[in-house]
Chain A
Amino acid sequence: MNDVAITGIGIATPFGIGKEALVSGLSGKRGLEFRRVPEFRGTRLKKQKAAGMPDSEAVDGRLPRKLLKYMSKAAKIGCLAGTEAAGDAGIQARYAPEATAIFAASGLTAANPDRAFRMLNASVDEQGEFSERLFAEHGLEYMNPLNSFQILPNMPPCILSIMIKARGPNLIFNPWEEQGAAAILEGVHSVRNNETGCALVGAADTPDEPGTLVCLRQMNFLDDDTPASSAAAYLVLESRETAEKDGRPIYGVLHSVEIESRRARPFDPLAGVIGRTFAAAPALLLAANLLGVSEATCLAGTRGSEIRFEIERTKKP
């Protein structure tokens, strides 16, 4: 069985695009300002804070223009992190597309409130009730067909596959830390069992979207004292033997990923600095550890599972 090496890391967080921004942020060189959510002004969620990407134009500028219309915010940051990780490990030059797997997780789907209101306003009858007939005849005019691509939870990794020409095995899970960790676990299994050459594993989540925040608050998965942040983190896993043979720098060896149902209280060691990132949290934690800006190796997910990584760091960040 193969030792599983991590040879690529890609990150997009409110600290900025790229793993260097995460290192700066988590080592205290770069601050992160959580802001109150404008849409919550005057409501009982007025104290809720969140952080998104600092520069959305910079995000869009790094992505292929022809794909932008299909991309949600999660797809954008996921693709930035995924392409950075793939480039970091040089997988496109070393592995055939069909030997490149993607195992990923996505978070809760974010609905655009403004667009939804226009659609629904056109669908309400004289009694103030939602009318399916009016929705079909008028509401649908406000629904962009491209919305489907932006709300389907499998789209962020699928678009990433197009960008890096990955055609290998794939799985996409949803929506919490447990599933983000499962994506990493599956990468370990697949590389270890020679089911794939390399695996891009990780997640993108945008819990700072107002529609998603309401859902998270309603389910008591967030409170006034806990901010939420957009984040994406991807890692490249491959056999240690191949990485060494190819002369690739190795960040570390991932010996195990354990996900145990324990009804634990959710705990994310990075949340105090970066906010809750839900599905993206496990890959982000693993990346932070490998980059030398966190010693943490475990967290507890929203559904109460304990997630533990056994890592052997091998490269000085």
Chain B
Amino acid sequence: MKQRIAITGIGCVTPVGVGIRPFFSAVAGGVSGIREITHFDCSGFDVKLAGEVREDMTRPEKFQDAVAGDPKIGFALEAAGQAMRDAGISGLSGKSLIHLGTSLKYFDLNKIVQAGMSGFSQIVENSMTPGARGFQTPLDVACELIGDIHGPDSLKLTNVSACAASTQAIGHTFQRLRDGTFDMALCGGFDSMINPLGIGGFQLLGALSANTAENARACRPFDASRNGTVLGEGAAMFVLEPLEHARTENRHIYAEILGFGSSLDAWKVSAPDPTGAGCLLAMKGAVRDAGLHPGQIDAVSAHGTGTYLNDETEAAAIRDILGEKWQTTPVFSTKSLIGHLIGAAGAVELVACIQGFMENRLHPHGALDNVAPGCELDHVVVAPRGFHGQTILKNSFGFGGQNATLILGRVEQ
């Protein structure tokens, strides 16, 4: 049984706004959320920029401890609540799934220091004192809390496929709704690595831009002067359900998911396959899964990180799959405006794709002045571009060689 799957609810928390309307308005205007880090004292770090969520979000008292244990849980709760309200659903019913992507557990270095620095035994003693707070929070806590609120009987999955996590979570959810395994689902991603350990770890890997002078324009996917990505944080969640059911319930349908593909580079631990074969495999898989041919792809939302290794490889793979049509198929990267949201990246960038259908325009790259050799594509630059196409291909590629691609389709109301 294959059925069409619709997106009927969206929630998002991003560095340029909380909720889809503020997000749409900001990215269409080329507003960047990348600024100097304020979450902690970054004066000693080479890297000083990030896309931080600046809004305070109110949440019930009972979640304060969880959010204090890991701030990204707050983003997840907010985005999930928005998505459910947006869909007009009080709870997930029937056979339901909650599948969220994220990347890495948050280690609160401050709490470890407070727990005691004289040795591991002191940490053990202090940690086991009744009422002591943990200094690490399991990654599934957000999913469990969201399940308690919106779907106690749902199957709850936490996907940790690095930067491909939320795209995988959405793609997998789509596949299992399509084949009838589940009736309704909430899926997406949440993440934040904007903490000393996250920024420090990425800085050591040389993956982040230390070009503070560029400020809001420091994340420069496909640009000749790109020198690394910029971390962002946030969350995006989607209510997915069979399109026919959504129509029966008279729900607003934002778009439908047409296809999903995932692949592994199986190349090297520390670098993507430079031939782009892994990316291409995921894109081809998604196009095939959608029952389309590559010529039917009308726009591409690139993974576009602004790192040397990713952009050229991805551009080559996009040209490869689009064939001659690559010169007239618009390509945009949302990371240039909000930074790299790691496990949440694909989900938040999917919201920007949906904007393409809703507002009939694609947002521009935030900082693409001179296209780097090897990165030639039909880039959307300077201003939004009018868009009346039927399909958008969304890429996400993860550290470790995990690739995921979604195909999104326009649905006439």
Contacts and interface: CB of A to CB of B under 8 A. Distances in A.
Interface of A: 39-45, 67, 70, 97-98, 102, 106, 108-109, 111, 113, 116-117, 120-121, 123-124, 128-137, 139-140, 143, 145, 147-149, 151-155, 158-159, 161-162, 164-176, 178-179, 182, 186, 189, 193, 195, 210, 214-215, 217-219, 259, 261, 303, 305
Given A117-B117, A158-B269, A189-B176, A106 B285 contact: no
A109 B201 contact: no
Contact of A178 (B107, B156, B159, B196): B156
Contacts of B324: none
Interface in B132-187: 132, 134, 136, 138-140, 144, 147, 152-162, 165, 168, 172, 175-176, 179, 181
A109 B401 CA distance: 19
B109, B128, B181 — most chain A CB neighbours (10 Å): B109
B162 to A, nearest CB: 5
B104 A45 contact: no
Nearest to A67: B269
Range for the number of chain B residues in contact with chain A: 35 or more
Given A169-B262, A171-B172, A173-B159, 12 more contacts: A43-B125, A45-B124, A97-B266, A108-B138, A120-B109, A131-B41, A154-B398, A155-B400, A158-B401, A162-B269, A166-B266, A305-B155
B124 A303 contact: no
Given A67-B269, A179-B157, A130 B44 contact: no
B117 A120 contact: yes
B140 A179 contact: yes
Contacts, number: 223
B124 A167 contact: no
Nearest to B129: A44
**Smallest CB-CB A-B distances: 4 pairs:** A136-B44, A158-B400, A133-B44, A130-B113
A207 to B, nearest CB: 12
B278 interface: yes
B200 interface: yes
Contacts of A117: 117, 119-120
Nearest to B42: A132
Interface of B: 40-45, 103-105, 107, 109-110, 112-114, 117, 119-121, 123-125, 127-128, 132, 134, 136, 138-140, 144, 147, 152-162, 165, 168, 172, 175-176, 179, 181, 196, 200-205, 261-270, 278, 281, 285, 398-402
Contact of B132 (A116, A129, A218, A303): A218
Contact of A143 (B160, B181, B204, B262): B204
B134 to A, nearest CB: 5
Contacts of A259: 155
B196 A168 contact: no
A291 B328 CA distance: 57
B179 A133 contact: no
A159 B265 CA distance: 10
Given A39-B124, A149-B270, A158-B400, A171 B161 contact: yes
A158 B264 contact: yes
Contact of A215 (B43, B134, B205): B134
Contact of B154 (A39, A70, A158, A261): A261
A43 B400 contact: no
Contact of B158 (A151, A161, A169, A173): A173
A159 B401 CA distance: 9
Contact of A145 (B43, B132, B155, B205): B205
Contacts of B266: 97, 161-162, 164-167
13 contacts: A113-B123, A116-B112, A117-B117, A130-B112, A130-B113, A130-B114, A143-B204, A145-B205, A154-B400, A172-B402, A182-B155, A218-B132, A303-B156
A168 B398 CA distance: 14
Contacts of B136: 108-109, 111, 215
Contact of A162 (B45, B107, B125, B401): B401
Contact of A111 (B107, B110, B113, B156): B107
Contacts of A195: 175
Nearest to B97: A182
A132 B121 contact: no
Nearest to B144: A303
Contacts of A133: 41, 43-44
Contacts of B153: 261
A45 B165 CA distance: 35
Contacts of A108: 105, 136, 138
Contact of A167 (B154, B204, B264): B264
A272 B134 CA distance: 28
B158 A175 contact: yes
A305 B248 CA distance: 32
A155 B117 contact: no
B201 A147 contact: yes
